[in-house]
Structure 1
Amino acid sequence: MKFSHHFRYHCRALALAASLGLALGTAAHAATLKFANQGDALSLDPYSLDETQQLSLLGNVFEPLVGRGKKLELVPVLATDWKQTAPTVWRFDLRKNVTFQDGTPFTADDVIFSLKRAQDTGSDVKTFVQQIAEIKKIDDHTIDVITKQPFPILPQMITQWYIMSQKWCEANNAVHPADKAKKVENAASFKADGTGPYEIASREPGVRTVFERNPHYWGKIEGNVDKAVFTPISNGATRVAALLSGQVDLIEPVPLQDVPRIKANPDLKMLHGPELRTIFLGMDQKRDELLYSNVKGKNPFKDKRVRQAFYQAINIDLIKRVVMRGAATPTNLLLGPGINGFSPALNKRLPYDPAASKKLLAEAGYPNGFEVGMNCPNNRYVNDAQICQAVAQMLAHVGVKVDLTVEPKATYFPRILSHNTSFYMLGWSPSSYDAQNVLNALVATPDPKVGQGQFNIGGYSNPKVDQLTHEIASESDPAKRNQLIAEALKLTSDDIAYLPLHQQALAWGVKKDVHVVQVPDDNFFLKWVSVK
């Protein structure tokens, strides 16, 4: 299919620039890896939160039908082959002789069960399977996936839809997902039974998670990591100290101010690379009155002039230079280079212009500005709290008083996923590496029944964008499809649906005797790690 080859070209070009080679073959000795991140997975249920770090950690335990290789190319995982047999039918041949970690054989029934579970009311990964109408079992290792309409990027869309064991979920009363938005938990929140190369040996949420190699894994484990200990360390200085002292072997992210220290240490190395994630600010454009504002009886964010005023009050170059220390690429779009559909022609920001912001606010009826609450995480994105503090200060210069609340992602995500916010920060890295995912998840009018607009927390709505998003999903001609994407992105940009900020850069600190593969989607696979 021409579209797939075109798509892979973009991903391969970006990944080649950001990946580190790993010698083939399993090292002679088993090793323990100790690694740390600024935050923890909030659950072991792979359907409870569509968040990169959580899905990355769980991607060592659970597996999809189709996955990604070191160059972000599509690779067979639990499916050995797939092909379109009709406009709305995909035939998948499932891998034989695979067992879940409790010894239960993997079959087509687990895939069918996993679809129902992923489409459940409490699932946070509905966008992965939104286009699937049903799955028909041909035999234990053959299925037909029926889509609601022609959907040429189905294989790209399901690379982080992890398959769960029907038997295990039923035996552990975990048939339904653990809903983070409603703070619902079940056995899947704390235990895991996947088909992947590693098992969860022990789990202390917020403290430590221990992975051990799955002795019955069906595939090849290239690295020599037999055991891995993951520790969340929220404080940047403490995280760096742990690396410098040898308590951990790898940290992510490295605080930007500490990069020179790590580079200067002869026992350590810095791994830099572009990340596909875009950081942006969202606004409640749906409610008739904001939850957190001194403006009563109306919603300022419903007025494009107010949204534009906020946009032009943000000095993105200052944020890049001072807050991000140059490790950011300012953007006008919700997607960056490497994502299919990215358009350099549309990626031109409105100028930073506080005078224009004040004029727009006055025209909208707020000559003295107004007050609004803002929510931000402090341990999810690179310098997330500092970015929000800088934005609050910039808005103050045009008369907008921001009441900023920063908090750990453990409480932040449940808050914003329940739409308990007026102004918020979010980062998005499309798992399909395609603009359709961005438009469908962030921009389309929310429809909870199918997962459309699932992360459109501010409720932005444009019927024309919805129509284009629907057409993009089924269009198979690459040229026509990209024209539709460009039109949808332009409408979104013209409406100032969001306040795009930048694509952040990856910054990992690693011991020199540890070889890892760093890819732009920020997924970390233990099976590719080797320790000398």
Structure 2
Amino acid sequence: MTAFRKTLRAGAGALLLALPLLATPVLAEDLSVGLAAPVTSIDPHFANAAPNSSFARHIFDPLVVRPPDGRPAASLATEWRAVSDTLWEFRLRPGVKWHDGRDFTADDVVFTYGRAPSVPNSPASFGGSLRTVTTVEAVDLLTVRITTSAPTPNLPIDLAAIAIVSRHVGEGASTADYNSGKAAVGTGPYKLVSYHSGSAIEVVRNDAYWGDRQPWEKVHFRIIPNPGARTAALLSGDVDLIAAPPATDLPRLRSESNIRIFERQGSRALFLSPDFSRTGESPFITDNNGRPLPKNPLLDLRVRQALSLAINRQGLAERVQQGMAEPTGQWMPPGAFGHNPELGVPPYDVARARALLADAGYPQGFRITLHASNDRYPADAQTAQAVAQMWSRIGVNTTVEAMPFATYLTRLAKQEYSMVQNSWGSTTGEAGSVLLNIVHSFDAPKRLGASNDTRYSNPALDAKIEEALSTMDPAQRERRVAAAVAESLGDLALIPMVLFKNAWAARRPLTYEPRMDEQTLAMGVRKE
């Protein structure tokens, strides 16, 4: 089977068969992609999760896009400028059509930014990207002015996270309407054909797209969370490209003459988030006899330090992640905006961890359940199991409960866990993304801490985060962001473990442009 599909596209097939010398059939190429994680909704504002945002790029466009290197570039907005520290103007692209033929206008942007932070039942809101936005005004059909409550130097790249939807279709539409296709009308390079949650999605090329014409007439996305099954599908030719090829299969894939590997250092960290929401009993923590502890031990910094010191990060990166991750003590790689070079990888020190537990009043340790996904990140369940074994060596007897990501995310949003293995990919390419969405105290009215599901709260640090992210001078902003990173990790608001490397594997003659933000886009696939 070839690495792409050729199918006959003809409106008058019978006539072509009858007159073979007078007409030549047109061969159109389809593409099949194996995704590693489920797309939980077609509604682009339902969940701020990478698989959903990645797929949404096929149907919808934002004002600003992030190319593979993460820098902002024009999309539905052709240019933008800061009129003042708290006022931005965006000029919109003329001639853009929605999939149903209606004109895209500034009013659609106004509608979108009103809808995105408040989608019912959203497990992970996009409110953080719009946290300072107070008014969005359509000056004319192709001009939008956005007023913010504070200086927001990252506003253009923050807006890259928000897909623009139409008012005429989206007003009154529910998430179910997007999933059914009824409201899935965008301006993007592809149109939705079908969506089967957890299994498959099909799109067809939008021939009226304002941008570059796509080479693929149809794209078939298959959700294949099992790593071995994903590799098998690629090798058999059932799919042309797979995301996140399992590290254990990379040597074999590299040896295959008809397979290519494409890699890039990513900006996604895997970390642990303790429960800060309860001062008394925490639901999955007991003493060694199974009795609930009267107070939550995770609120004690010494306990969090012990749990961090008990983790062999180098071992996780080399053995569990098979070299497709780097050990880390923070959530951004060296060279990224806000990376703090003074923060090294925490040492692996079992003796010190035991001493800290004893000093905190837990010389015999305790029992805890670590919750994790089993189909979202490379070796996610295996990593959780490895951490559990490491913690058991210091007396913290750990059970792992791993589950599908959709279930995990819903329960996480309800603060049902005591300790979770979590992850965040900084789509903005800088450290402020985690500070804003996960470290900052949860504040729904201000759209801050939108993904702070374990409810860490440090008001003094909140003020520093807000000051840092409102600093217009880039050099000063980076210093303040790096300082906030150091303070949050000194308090172990979260416990970083590894930074992922991103990889894709494709059948020749296809190529893929690897991305820092890990998105798998049909728009990045080309045939040599």
Give TM-score scaled by structure 1 length: 0.90
Q: Which residue of 1 aligns with 2:4?
A: none
- Deviation of 1:339 after TM superposition, in Å, equals 2.9
SS in 1 for 2:278: coil
**2:476 is equivalent to residue 476 of structure 1:** no
**Is contact 1:472–1:484 with CA below 8 Å preserved after alignment?**
yes
Q: In the alignment, which residue of structure 2 is the partner of 1:168?
A: 169
User: Which residue in 2 is equivalent to 1:130?
Assistant: 131
Residue identity matched to 1:33: L
- Does the aligned pair in 2 maintain the 1:67–1:75 contact within 8 Å? yes
CA contact under 8 A between 1:195 and 1:217: conserved in structure 2? Answer: yes
What whole-Å deviation, never above 9, does each CA across 1:118-167 have from its counterpart, x for those lacking one? 12163511111112111112111111111111111111111121001111
Q: Deviations over 1:223-247 (max 9, x none)?
A: 5111110001122111111111111
Partner of 1:149: 150
Aligned equivalents of 1:272, 1:66: Cα separation in 2: 24
Partner of residue 508 from structure 1, selected from 504, 507, 521: 504
Residue type of the partner of 1:190? Answer: S
5+ residue gaps, structure 2: 1-25, 287-291
Query: Contact 1:119–1:450 (CA<8 Å) still a contact in 2?
Result: no
| AA at the equivalent of 2:324 | A
Counterpart of 2:12 in structure 1 is none
Compute the displacement of 1:338 (Å): 4.6
Paired amino acid for 1:196: G
State the superposition RMSD in angstroms: 1.5
SS at match of 1:371: strand
Quote the residue 1:402 is aligned against: 398
Per-residue CA deviation, residues 365-423 of structure 1 (Å, 9 max, x unaligned), is: 11111111211011111111100000000111111111211011121111112221111
- Residue matched to 1:6: none
Match of 2:178 in 1: 188
Residue 521 of structure 1: aligned partner: 517
Please identify the structure whose Cα radius of gyration is greater.
2
Deviations 1:73-117 (A, max 9, x none): 321111111111111110111112112112221111111111110
Cα distance, 1:335 vs. partner? Answer: 2.1
2:106 — aligned with what?
108
* Shift of residue 189, structure 1, vs aligned partner: 3.0
Contact 1:361 1:367 in 2 (8 A): yes
Query: What is the rounded CA distance, in whole Å, between the counterparts of 1:345 and 1:411 in structure 2?
Result: 37
* Corresponding residue pairs, total: 492
SS at match of 1:496: coil
Conserved in 1, the CA contact under 8 Å of 2:70 and 2:428? no
Instruction: Report the AA paired with residue 492 of structure 2.
Output: I
**Residues 1:381 and 2:377 are matched in the alignment:** yes
Instruction: Say which of 248, 262, 271 aligns to 1:271.
Output: 262
299-308 vs 513-522, greater mean Cα deviation:
513-522
Q: Is the 8 A contact 1:373 1:405 kept in 2?
A: yes
Equivalent residue letter for 1:336: P
Distance, in Å, in 1 between the alignment partners of 2:361 and 2:69 is 51
Alignment partners' CA distance in 2, 1:334 and 1:70: 19
Q: Distance in 2 between matches of 1:507 and 1:140?
A: 41
Q: CA deviation at 1:202?
A: 1.4
Q: Partner of 1:94 in structure 2? A: 92
The amino acid that maps onto 1:409 is F
Q: Does residue 460 of structure 2 align to residue 464 of structure 1?
A: yes
1:452 matched to which residue of 2?
A: 448
- Alpha-carbon distance in 1 for matches of 2:405, 2:30: 28
Residue equivalent to 1:182: none
Partner residue in 2 for 1:255: 246
CA deviation string 1:38-72 (max 9, x = no partner): 22200001111111111011111110001123433
The residue aligned with 1:11 is none
Name the residue aligned to 1:209.
201
Deviation digits for residues 4-55 of structure 1 (CA, Å, limit 9, x no counterpart):
xxxxxxxxxxxxxxxxxxxxxxxx9641111102222000011111111110
Counterpart selection for 1:284 from 259, 275, 279: 275
Is contact 1:43–1:190 with CA below 8 Å preserved after alignment? no
Q: Distance in 1 between matches of 2:522 and 2:314?
A: 36
Secondary structure of the 1:201 match is strand
Greater relative CO, 1 or 2 (CA 8 Å, sep 6+): 1
Worse overlay, 404-413 or 300-309:
404-413
What's the CA shift string for 1:282-337, capped at 9, x where partnerless? 00012112121114321101000000010011111111221011221111112223
Give the aligned partner of residue 308 of structure 2.
311
Distance 1:136 1:89 in 2: 11
The answer to whether the 8 A contact 1:276-1:338 is kept is: no
Pick the aligned partner of 2:83 from 63, 82, 85: 85
Q: 2:40 aligns to what SS in structure 1?
A: coil
2:431 aligned to which of 422, 431, 435: 435
Assess, with a 3 A threshold, how the Cα gap between structure 1 residues 70 and 384 changes in structure 2: closer, same or farther.
closer
* SS of 1:60 mapped into structure 2: helix
Q: 1:496 Cα deviation (Å)?
A: 1.4
Distance in 2 between residues matched to 1:279 and 1:60, nearest whole Å: 27
Match of 2:7 in 1: none
* In structure 2, C-alpha distance between the alignment counterparts of 1:230 and 1:61, rounded to whole Å: 13
Letter in 2 for 1:255: P
| Structure 1 residue 527, shift from structure 2 partner | 2.5
Higher deviation after alignment, 305-314 or 328-337: 328-337
Q: How far apart in 2 are the matches of 1:163 and 1:338?
A: 31
Q: Give the alignment of 1:415-430 within 5 angstroms.
A: 415-430=411-426
What is the one-letter code of the residue matched to 2:274? M
2:326 corresponding residue in structure 1: 329
